[in-house]
């Protein structure tokens, strides 16, 4: 992408103004701030490597501010949305969507999932290297297990969701723009992205009563702060807390002090 943007130019010729214009252009195209920041971070790294090797004498990225990201956005499907989306996606492609809803996998984790990382005996799959750079294990519910057992690629391709040839994984960008995005439009579901299927997974867990620590582990979040965006969806613990104040009213027999004298024992009887 950056090669196309600065085609034929040397690193020394790139000015902060050139980068600022690129940021403005990407923002005008409605590219997410998080995506723009990842692109800028890559360019900063390129210049840092060049600077360390005396290929440039300055890093223009030092004057570029990253965009503010709204990481608190939570968008999920309700039951009616899911039913409409299911109808528009169709039975052939719905397993990919349903698998995301029932595992919470990130897009890259799902589309590059290999059969060697799936354990149908212990009902768990392994993400060899997650976004955090760590290996994590994802437990499977019955819906996810059924999808895997019925997958056409089983015993045929090394990829769980392969391309038509089976030699490569299904290209996520192609699937989204060929199947998923058009289906969203026909289902009249707006402001929704593939990553929101992951939000749906977490939101439904919280609303079903799962505690945030468990959701954090299932999502593969590095910190609980990342999971706290879903806290407002769970009111169970708050209701339980205030109900602790609902002490029963004192019994009339208890007297003004709230205690009742114990009867004296007679003849050893109690």
Q: Which residues are catalytic?
A: 106, 131, 195, 198, 221, 230
Query: Which tokens belong to 162?
Result: 């392969």
* DSSP element (H, E) containing 138: strand 136-139
Identify which of 72, 69, 105 has the alpha carbon closest to the alpha carbon of residue 232.
Answer: 72
Q: Give φ, ψ of 2 to 5 degrees.
A: -70, -35
59 in Cβ contact with 48 (< 8 Å)? yes
| Contact between 183 and 85 (Cβ < 8 Å) | yes
* φ, ψ of residue 4 in degrees (nearest 5): -65, -40
Q: Which of 104, 246, 97 is nearest to 183 (CA)?
A: 97
CB 143 within 8 A of CB 102: yes
Q: What does each C-alpha distance from 255 to 130, 200, 250, 258 come to in angstroms? A: 64, 55, 9, 5
| 218 within 8 A of 102, measured Cβ to Cβ | no
Best CA proximity match to 232, nearest among 202, 192, 197: 202
Radius of gyration for the alpha carbons in the chain, expressed in angstroms and rounded: 28
């Amino acid at each position: 992408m950056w090669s196309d943007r600065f085609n034929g130019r040397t690193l020394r010729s790139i000015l902060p103004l050139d980068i600022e214009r690129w940021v403005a252009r990407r923002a005008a195209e409605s590219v997410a701030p998080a995506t723009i920041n990842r692109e800028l971070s890559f360019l900063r790294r390129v210049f840092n490597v060049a600077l360390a090797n005396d290929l440039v004498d300055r890093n223009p990225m030092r004057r570029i501010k990253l965009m503010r990201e709204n990481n608190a956005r939570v968008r999920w499907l309700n039951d009616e949305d899911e039913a409409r989306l299911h109808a528009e996606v169709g039975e052939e492609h719905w397993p990919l969507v349903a698998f995301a809803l029932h595992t919470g996998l990130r897009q890259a984790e799902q589309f590059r999932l290999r059969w060697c990382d799936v354990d149908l005996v212990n009902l768990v799959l392994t993400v060899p290297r997650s976004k955090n750079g760590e290996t994590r294990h994802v437990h499977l519910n019955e819906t996810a297990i059924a999808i895997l057992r019925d997958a056409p690629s089983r015993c045929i391709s090394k990829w769980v969701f392969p391309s038509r040839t089976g030699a490569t994984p299904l290209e996520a960008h192609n699937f989204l723009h060929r199947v998923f995005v058009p289906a969203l439009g026909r289902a009249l579901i707006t402001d929704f992205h593939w990553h929101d299927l992951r939000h749906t997974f977490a939101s439904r867990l919280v609303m079903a009563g799962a505690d945030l620590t468990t959701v954090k582990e299932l999502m593969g979040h590095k910190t609980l702060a990342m999971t706290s965006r879903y806290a407002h969806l769970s009111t169970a613990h708050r209701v339980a807390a205030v109900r602790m104040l609902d002490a029963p009213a004192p019994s009339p027999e208890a007297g003004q002090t709230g205690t009742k004298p114990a009867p004296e024992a007679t003849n050893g009887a109690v």
